[in-house]
Amino acid sequence: MERPLRLLMVCTANICRSPMAEGWARARGAEVRSGGIMGLEGRPADPLAIRVMGEMGVDISRHVSSGIAEDDMHWADHVLVMEMRHRVHLVHRHPDAIDKVLLLGQFGGKHELSDPVGGWRWRFRSSR
Catalytic residues, by residue number, are 11, 17, 115
Q: Are 58 and 23 in contact (CB under 8 A)?
A: yes
User: Exposure of 94 by Cβ count < 10 A (0-12 exposed, 13-18 middle, 19+ buried)?
Assistant: middle
3-state secondary structure of 122: helix
DSSP designation for 45: P
